Amino acid sequence: MGNEVLEFAEAIGAKSLKSEAAFSKYHTLFRRNNYFVLGKNHFLIIKISRIERPFWGLGKKVFELFNSLTKESGNYFLVALVSNKSGWVLSKNEILRGISNESLSYSERTQEYKIIDLKDRQGFTSIENFMKKIGFSAY
């Protein structure tokens, strides 16, 4: 993981779940510092692709955890970065829809959902644009 993930998280004011005591029981699941909380119950999975054909993965256990954490309230987002200020963002509903219509494929071998082809409407080119996409327009 490069500095882009941490730079992005800092720019939007997100806190690492690894540093939040309330989430200490999940620390073994959070092998890398890619999991953040924004406000009280908006969770972020922030990843960056380092290969020529951009690819991001969402582990099944992580997916199940965030579905559980947001069952009653809140939301989670997968942020697929290409730089510390741009990329794509998928909401919980978009991820669930992608799984149900099989536009997000699942690998039994790696136990993760593969995110490859993202749509322009999911893209953002600035921190301000990202915050508006997730409903934090007062940024």
Angstrom distance (rounded) from CA 32 to CA 16? 10
Give the range of the structural domain holding residue 14, as residue numbers without chain letter.
Answer: 1-58+76-82+117-139
Is residue 111, in this structure, part of any structural domain at all? Answer: no
Is residue 16, in this structure, part of any structural domain at all? Answer: yes
Asked if 66 and 36 count as a contact pair (C-beta separation under 8 A), the reply is: no
Strand partners, 112: 59, 107
What is the pLDDT averaged over residues 99-120? 88
Q: Quote the pTM value.
A: 0.88
On the question of pLDDT at 119 being above 60, the answer is yes
User: Tens digit of pLDDT for each residue in 39-75?
Assistant: 888 999 999 987 777 788 899 999 999 999 999 999 9
Asked if 104 and 71 count as a contact pair (C-beta separation under 8 A), the reply is: no
| Domain count for the chain | 1
Is residue 97, in this structure, part of any structural domain at all? Answer: no
Is residue 137, in this structure, part of any structural domain at all? Answer: yes
The pLDDT confidence band at residue 108, using thresholds 50, 70 and 90, is very high
What pLDDT shows up at residue 139?
A: 44
On the question of pLDDT at 1 being above 60, the answer is no
Is residue 93, in this structure, part of any structural domain at all? Answer: no
What is the pLDDT averaged over residues 1-17? 89
Is residue 11, in this structure, part of any structural domain at all? Answer: yes
In the chain, DSSP finds a helix count (H) and a strand count (E) of: 4, 9
Is residue 125, in this structure, part of any structural domain at all? Answer: yes
What is the pLDDT averaged over residues 6-33? 85
Q: What's the gap between Cα 132 and its chain centre?
A: 16
Is residue 35, in this structure, part of any structural domain at all? Answer: yes
More confident residue, 6 or 53: 6
